Structures are given as C-alpha cells and as structure tokens.
Amino acid sequence: MGVHEVKKRIRVLIVDDSSVVREAMRHAVESDPELEVAGIAENGREALEKTLALEPDVIAMDFHMPDMNGIKATRRIMEEKPTPIVIVSGLLDPKEASANFMALDAGALALIEKPRFLGQEQQQALARIVETLKAMSEVAVVRRRRKPEGERPETPPRVEQSIRPPKRGPFSMVCMGASTGGPQALSSILSRLPGNFFLPILVVQHIAPGFLPGLVQWLDSHTQLEVGIAEHGKRPLAGHVYFAPDNRHMGVGPGNVIKLSDSPPLGSLRPSASHLFQSAADVLGDKVVGILLTGMGHDGAAELAVMNRCGALTVGQSEESCIVFGMPKAARDAGALDLLLPPEEIASMLITIHNSSEKQ
C-alpha cells in the first residue's frame, strides 16, 4: 500500500470577546476539513501572546475588545510575529465605520462582516469568513516597523519611473473593479494622484453591506481627490471618485452619466465590475481606462476584454502586488490586458496620462 501525503490543515487563531461568537466560529472552522483551531483568545493582548506561542497560519480578529482592540493587536502582531489577519467586525455605525479600515493601515489583509446570528444569514456569514481565512492564509506578510502611538500613515512616495501607456487616448473616464485587497490597492493608487486629476474615476469594490461608507471616509482621508458614493443620473466630475452603492449595479449611461441599476446580480455579484466594464465599452469605446485590481474570482475579466477590443486602455494589478491574484489573472488569461502593473505604477501611468492632457 502506497503512502499518501496528508495535506496540512490551516491553523486558525480565533480572537473575539464574545463567547457566542467564539463558539460559532470554532464550530465553523472545525467543520471544514482544510482548517483546524490553533487556539482561542478573548482579547487583543491574549491574541498577541497566543500568536507568539502557537504560530497560527491565519488569525480571525475581532475589532472591539477590552484591554487591547483589534487595531492595536494587529499592529503589535505585525511588528513582532507577522501573520495573515482577517478583521471580523460588526462596527457599522457611520460615525465610526472608517475605524474598521485603520486595521488595514496596521497590516490586516481583509475586513469581513461579523455573523449576526439570524439563521441562514449567520451560516452565510460564517461561510464567507471560512473562505476568506483559507485565501488569506496563503498570503505572504512582512514585518511592520514600530510606529509611535497615533502616528498617521506615511504619505506614499511618488514613483519616479514614468509609466507610458501603449494607448494615448484621449480618455474621458477611469473605471476600476476590485475585491479582496482592493481597499489597500485603491489607497495606494488614489493617494498618489493629484487633486486636479483630469478624469472622473468610477469604482466597483466588492464589500459587505454596511462597510462602504467607512471605506469612502477612510479613502477620502488618504487622497487629495473627492471620494463619495455614486448617485443615479449624475454626470461624474474630474478629480472625483465614485463608488457603486451597496447592492446596486453602477454603469455609464448615454451622455457619460452614472447609471445605477437593480438588474439581477452577475455571477452572484451586485454591484459587479462586469456590469461597469460592459457599459463603459458600450458608451465610451476607446475613451476609457479600465483597471482590474486584486480579488478572488473572475468578475470583470471578460468585459475588460471587450473594452480592450474596443480600443480602451486596460490594466491589471500585477501578481506580486495582489493579495489575491484572481480577477487580474482571469483578465490576463482572457487576453484582456495591455499592462500588468503594481498599484504605484498604475498611479504613475495615470499621472502620465494626466500630464499629457495638460500639454494638449
């Protein structure tokens, strides 16, 4: 009888101050044949201690906890024992929602909604957590330098290299799609663009319902551009970034106005990058830049290929810079891309296009 290699299970550290949540997550993890519980912690300080002692493969980290919250615990872990961290948060109050995304500044990889314990909705939330933990466990993370308490994130350096796009335009809009890891990639790109950037930017970001206002606030604090949630029928303005609202498709309508839609989900997604990119191809043709960023799945890949065939400039995020090289890989495999670039070089390319427009 041959010896069969047994695949090593992914070891998960569960961190939450609620015994009900801890038990639900423990059961969800133990029910998956690819996962096992490495340990359980009730607060951030205990999470740091158990990370150092147990060396888990991935951490499910609560946001609000006594003694040390999720942001501080994430920061300390990334300084002392870098480990993939998924923030599991129930913080949806619009006044505090942007605080969730401060955990990404601290080094967390993803943010996901905490289960609400309402039957099928609870099971769906737990399933999303399990799948996210699996995906994030494979991401290589690096040690963060220790920062003084309260220090703001550093202003990203300008990229010295000028990235010249293979297509010269003229362009009238930028359309982006993103999923897992998208907030970090978007922050890297948008924070480098000048406040007088000459094009409007439309973005579809896959995110749990309720988190979008916090993402918008967080990104608005990282960029000179104006960041907001799209409204139906509005003509997008230069130097503004428009996010598709929760559970509504966003596209480009006649006259280049924003068109929101309640049409059925595409591949279980609403909003979807596929809807945005197809509308951009139909209305804008070769006068648009399409960008597909990090994320699981293949949303937007086929429609980015349509944009490319229409003469649009199409760009995917490079594999080494992605948290999950899913959507850009699907676009690459579909022959949809003119360029594969890391976020800072995508920003440089957009700045090159901006500078060229000023000379015309």
Give me the pLDDT at residue 158, please. Answer: 56
Could you tell me if residue 272 is inside a domain? yes
Query: Does 105 qualify as catalytic in the annotation?
Result: no
Q: Kind and range of the H or E element at 315?
A: strand 313-317
Question: Which one of 206, 249, 275, 298 is the catalytic residue?
Answer: 206
Token digits of residue 32: 């998956």
How far, in Å, CA of 247 to CA of 249, rounded?
7
* Residue 112: partners with Cβ closer than 8 Å, 6 or more residues away: 86, 87, 88, 89, 128, 129, 132, 208
Bond before 84 cis per omega within 30 degrees? no
- Is 102 found in the same domain as 54? yes
Domain termination site, one of 91, 116, 136: 136
Tokens matching residue 209: 């319902």
Identify whether residues 253 and 332 lie together within a single domain.
Answer: yes
CA 263, CA 270: separation in Å to the nearest integer?
9
Percent helix, strand, coil in the chain (nearest 5)? Answer: 35, 20, 45
Burial class, 344, CB count within 10 angstroms (exposed 0-12 / middle 13-18 / buried 19+): buried
Going by C-beta distance under 8 Å and a sequence separation of 6 or more, which residues neighbour residue 176? 186, 201, 202, 203, 204, 273, 290, 291, 292, 293
Whether 131 and 192 map to the same domain: the answer is: no
Q: Is residue 218 part of a domain?
A: yes
Number of domains in the chain: 2
**Are residues 183 and 126 part of one domain?**
no
Co-location of 52 and 123 in the same domain:
yes
105, 299, 321, 348: the active-site residue? 299
Q: Are 219 and 245 in contact (CB under 8 A)?
A: no
Phi-psi group of 224: left, alpha or beta (phi > 0 → left; psi -120 to 50 → alpha; rest → beta): alpha
Q: How far apart are CA 101 and CA 104, in angstroms?
A: 5
* Residue 167 domain-assigned (yes or no): no
For the four alpha carbons of 286, 288, 292 and 298, in that order, the dihedral sign comes to negative
User: For every one of its 360 residues, what pLDDT tens digit does the chain have, with 9 covering 90 and above?
Assistant: 455 556 799 999 999 999 999 999 999 999 999 999 999 999 999 999 999 999 999 999 999 898 899 999 999 999 999 999 999 998 767 667 788 899 999 999 999 988 876 667 788 889 999 999 999 999 988 776 665 555 555 555 555 566 778 877 899 999 999 999 999 999 999 999 999 999 999 999 999 888 999 999 999 999 999 999 999 999 999 999 999 999 999 999 999 999 999 999 999 999 999 999 999 999 999 999 999 999 999 999 999 999 999 999 999 999 999 999 999 999 999 999 999 999 999 999 999 999 987 665
Residue 149 lies in a domain: no
326 and 197, same structural domain? yes
Closest CA to 206 of 297, 142, 101, 318: 297
- Let me know if 206 is a catalytic residue: yes
Give the CATH number, domain containing residue 185: 3.40.50.180
Is residue 291 located within the same domain as residue 354? yes
Q: Are residues 98 and 182 in the same domain?
A: no
In a domain, 166, yes or no: no
- Structural domain including 66 reads 10-136
Q: Which residue among 89, 98, 137, 179 is the active-site one?
A: 179
275 Cβ neighbours under 8 A, 6+ residues apart: 204, 249, 250, 251, 261, 263, 266, 303
Asked if the structure places residue 148 within a domain, the reply is no
* 13, 98, 242 from 77: Cα distances, Å: 12, 21, 34
The reported pTM is 0.90
CA torsion sign, 144 to 90 to 45 to 56? Answer: negative
In this structure, are 178 and 49 located in the same domain?
no
In the annotation, is 299 catalytic?
Answer: yes
- Asked if residue 165 belongs to a domain, the reply is no
Q: What is the CATH number of the domain that holds 61?
A: 3.40.50.2300
Given this model, what pLDDT does residue 1 score?
A: 43
Q: Quick check: is 151 in a domain?
A: no
Provide the residue type at 233 as one letter: G
231 plus 354 within the same structural domain:
yes
DSSP state of 102: H
- The amino acid present at 141, given as its one-letter code, is V
